[in-house]
A and B are shown apart, each in its own frame.
Chain A
Amino acid sequence: MAEITRLIHEYLRHDKKFPHVWCPGCGIGIMLGALIRAIDKTGYSKDDIVLVSGIGCTGRLPVYVDFNTLHTTHGRALTFATGIKLAKPRLKVIVIMGDGDAVAIGGNHFIHAARRNIDLTAIIVNNSVYGMTGGQYSPTTPYGMKSTTTIYSNVEHSFNISELAVTAGAVFVGRGTVFHAKLLESLMEKAFAKVGFSVVEIISHCHTQFGRLNRMGTAVEMMQWQRDHAVTVEKAAQMKPEELKDKFKIGVLVDRELPAYQDGYDKVRRWAKGSEKR
């Protein structure tokens, strides 16, 4: 059996939920492929994986995969995931969000989950727009770009999701694009292996809404844009600031050690029971 067929049969609810809701050419499919391959490599049992999502195009992902899956309210996925992880620490909890989900309505939950260093992996598909509702601007829509609610021009400055995660305290932050599918897979694998709050930001495209309004071409052309504007962390270190002006870094942005929340709380339990002196 071909590898791809095996993965489809093993991990997708192929006999229940397809066809999917995404537009032809959407980056979420590539991201889903990378996710499945990365999970396959970790060796976790499907029964021990929980996939949690919020609302939006990306939020629809868990319904298609054969894990314990939870499709929550808009922006709140990390809070539900926090409850699951603390109540049953042996579960591997992966949270899938879009840019609006993670840093607009869910921005507060995002920074606090990172600050607490809860052992979760947050995977954020950043397509710079609210796709499902028809192409409104999001906190990651670049300055000067058009959307259906900034038809003249976006005059708000955009968030840099990965830098936000680094500042808020995530122990692992990686960024990739849907053009760099193999990199995505390896970033996810590293994030899953990390104990603590890990983030993988995925630069994707919405050619249906964002691309059409800003005349950025087809899905393929938008992916070529990703290829031309992404610079690996290693290469960026040798480039001058002016060369990096319209570029973004991909690769592992942060990988550091900090005590995870669960380790601290296990200590709290021992102190509370008096089995260990504070």
Chain B
Amino acid sequence: MNLRKKVRKKELLLQGNEAAVEGALRAGCSFFAGYPITPATEISEILSVRLPQLDGTFIQMEDEIASLGAVIGASLAGAKAMTATSGPGFSLMQENLGFAIIAEVPCVIVNAMRGGPSTGLPTMPSQSDVMQARWGTHGDHPIIALCPSTIRECYDLTIKAFNYSEKYRIPVVLLIDEVVAHMREKITIYEDEEVEIFNRVKPTVPPEWYIPFEDTPKGVPAMANFGDGYRYHVTGLTHDIRGFPTSRPDEIDPFIRRLFRKVSQNFSDVQIGESYETDDADITIIAYGCVARSARRAAADGRENGLKVGVLKMNTIWPFMRSQVEKVLRTSKVVIVPEMNMGQISREVKRVNKGDTKIFTINKVDGTIITPQEILNRIKEVC
């Protein structure tokens, strides 16, 4: 690096929601539709100011169903589009989430997780929408869901969410828990830092040769935007490679399998996480979101007390990071899965546990965070 060159950087004290906005704009988001809901409202408020300054569009719709509908419409017209909500709104979005999956429309949905079910705990944190993000919409489908635990990750993962959605033509859910959404931390954004921005692949063939849902080796067909001269049909019905409804078993099967394949053959790209001192760890904590912060502190305190503790932090929640989890299950004697729900990811960890590794959970559902001390106490209790 040339030290004499002045590095232009912005040091910002941001909330998770604010960092998600910065990330979205950096990724090229030009359309937002949403409906007010705590604790995601800041994203709407800030984008209502910023997007029109950048010739983008912000609109407040009549509900969350309409919000995701407008986002999908904007994406089909070529915009990078996003919405933000919390549990009750995410429930309403499930219908159109399924549409975005079957019609392969890129879009990003932020869910600032609060306690549920129903209206639940509007101002208190939770991680209880993990399984809803996976299976909330009906039908068999793949999904990508990411979860930040720091403000910097809110920024980075929002960019990644847009990249994955454009790359794989799939809606990406960003699960920010209320703690991370509202917590403030300093982040430094270098103006000349290289950020990988991925834009959807457009067709290069003439319109009469264009096959909009072609089964390519990559599994991701090129996407023409409405108005670009490629007139094609988009439907929520199961369709053939030309986009027309089909009920032929020999067309349905490869289509559904391709939807899964485009994610499953790219696990190495979409599964991101970080390991902290897991190589020699007897005890590994698998955590995500704000709980990953407590887990790292608990591990450091444990090491001071002579316990060999490591942490596997999951940034990708779905598709489940099976190979990374299997690795720590092989090397650790004990695995602890602390979660602010009754055990949604621990269920997955138990599912992939083939050996005799002991898995213990910490489940907190009282609307407060899991502290490092609580994790440490659990470790001492089980070891």
> Which residues does chain B contribute within 8 Å of A83, judged by CB atoms?
31, 33, 69-77, 81
Interface CB pairs A-B, < 8 A, 15: A47-B229, A66-B231, A70-B233, A70-B234, A73-B99, A76-B66, A79-B66, A80-B70, A82-B61, A83-B72, A86-B57, A87-B73, A108-B63, A265-B57, A273-B52
Which residues from chain A contact B63 at a C-beta distance below 8 Å?
108
When the two chains form their complex, are residues B70 and A86 in contact, meaning their CB atoms are under 8 A apart? yes
Check if A17 sits within 8 Å of B244, measured CB to CB. yes
Given A69-B233, A83-B69, A86-B59, do A269 and B52 touch, yes or no (CB 8 Å)?
Answer: yes
* Residues of A close to B242: CB separation below 8 A: 16
Alpha-carbon distance between A80 and B71 when the two chains are bound, in angstroms: 7
Q: Is the CB of B235 within 8 A of A91?
A: no
Instruction: Tell me if A50 is interfacial: C-beta within 8 Å of chain B.
Output: yes
In whole angstroms, what is the CA distance A85 to B59 when docked? 12
**Complex interface residues of chain A between 58 and 84 (CB less than 8 A to chain B):** 62-63, 66-73, 76, 79-84
B77 touches A84 (CB 8 A): yes
Chain A 19-52 interface residues, beta-carbon cutoff 8 Å to B: 46-48, 50, 52
Q: In the bound complex, how far is the Cα of B243 from the Cα of A70, in angstroms?
A: 10
B85 within 8 A of A: no
Number of A positions contacting B (CB below 8 A): 39
Residues of B whose CB lies within 8 Å of any CB of A are: 30-31, 33, 49, 52-53, 55, 57, 59, 61-63, 65-67, 69-79, 81, 95-96, 99, 225-229, 231-237, 242, 244-245
Residues of B within 8 A of A88 (CB): 77-79, 225-227
Once bound together, how far apart are the Cα atoms of A27 and B76, in whole Å?
Answer: 30
Q: Most A CB atoms within 10 A — which of B63, B73, B232?
A: B73
A90 / chain B contacts, CB cutoff of 8 Å: 227
The listed residue (B66, B69, B79) touching A87 by CB distance below 8 A is B79
Choose from A48, A85, A87, A272 the contact partner of B49 (Cβ within 8 Å). A272
- A113–chain B nearest beta-carbon distance, Å: 9
A273–B61 Cα gap in the complex (Å)? 23
Residues of B within 8 A of A81 (CB): 73
A109 is an interface residue with CB less than 8 A from chain B: yes
A119 to B326, CA, bound (A): 54
Contact residues in A for B75 (Cβ distance below 8 Å): 83, 87
Say yes or no: is A268 at the interface (Cβ < 8 Å to chain B). yes
A112 within 8 A of B: yes
Minimal beta-carbon separation of A275 from chain B (angstroms): 10
Chain B residues, CB < 8 A from A52: 73
Cα A80 to Cα B95 in complex, Å, equals: 13
Bound complex: CA A83 to CA B77 (Å): 8
Tell me which residues across on chain A come within 8 A of B81, comparing CB atoms. Answer: 83, 87
Known: A16-B244, A76-B69. A84 touches B74 (CB 8 A): yes
Report B-chain residues with C-beta under 8 Å of the C-beta of A80.
69-70, 72-73, 76
CB distance from A274 to the nearest CB of B (A): 9
A273 to chain B, nearest CB (A): 6
Residues of the A chain whose Cβ atoms lie less than 8 Å from the Cβ of B55: 269
Given A67-B231, A73-B99, A269-B52, verify A82-B73 contact (CB < 8 Å).
Answer: yes
Whether A87 contacts B77 by the Cβ 8 Å rule is yes
A172-208 vs B, CB cutoff 8 Å, 1 = contact: the mask equals 0000000000000000000000000000000000000
| Dominant SS among interface residues on chain A | helix
B49-A76 in contact (CB<8A): no
- Let me know if A86 and B31 touch, CB within 8 A: yes
Fill in one digit per residue for A114-150: 1 if any B CB lies within 8 Å of its CB, else 0: 0000000000000000000000000000000000000
Which residues of A sit under 8 angstroms from B52, Cβ to Cβ? 265, 268-269, 271-273
With both chains docked as a complex, state the minimum distance between the C-beta of B345 and any C-beta of chain A, in angstroms: 30
Q: Provided the pairs A63-B233, A73-B95, A273-B52 are in contact, do residues A68 and B226 lie with their beta carbons within 8 angstroms? A: yes
Other-chain residue from A68, A73, A85 in contact with B96 (beta carbon distance below 8 A): A73
Q: How far is the CB of B46 from chain A (nearest CB, A)?
A: 12
B62 pairs with A68, CB closer than 8 A: no
Contact A82 B226 (CB under 8 A): no
Closest A-chain residue to B67, C-beta based? A79
The answer to whether A86 and B65 touch (CB under 8 A), given A71-B237, A73-B95, A273-B52, is no
Which of A47, A86, A112 is the one whose CB lies under 8 Å from B66?
A: A112
Residues of A within 8 A of B231 (CB): 46-47, 66-69
Report B231 CB to chain A, min CB distance, Å: 5
The residue in chain B whose Cβ has the minimal distance to the Cβ of A49 is B231
Q: Which residues of A contact B244 (CB under 8 A)?
A: 16-17, 63
Rounded to whole angstroms, the CA-CA distance of A17 and B95 in the bound complex is 27
CB distance from A138 to the nearest CB of B (A): 20
A63-B233, A67-B231 are known contacts; what are 17 more A-B pairs with Cβ within 8 Å? A17-B244, A48-B227, A68-B231, A73-B69, A76-B95, A80-B70, A80-B76, A83-B72, A84-B74, A86-B70, A87-B74, A87-B79, A91-B77, A91-B227, A109-B62, A112-B62, A269-B55
Q: How far is the CA of A63 from the CA of B245 in the complex (A)?
A: 9
User: Which residues from A are CB-within-8-Å of B53?
Assistant: 269, 272-273
> Given A68-B232, A86-B57, do A76 and B96 touch, yes or no (CB 8 Å)?
yes
Q: How distant is the Cα of A109 from the Cα of B96 in the complex, in angstroms?
A: 14
Q: Does B62 contact A84, Cβ atoms closer than 8 Å?
A: no
Could you say which of B55, B232, B235 has the most chain A C-beta atoms within 10 Å of its C-beta? Answer: B235
Name A17's closest neighbour in chain B (CB-CB): B244
Contacts of B233 in A (CB 8 A): 62-63, 69-71
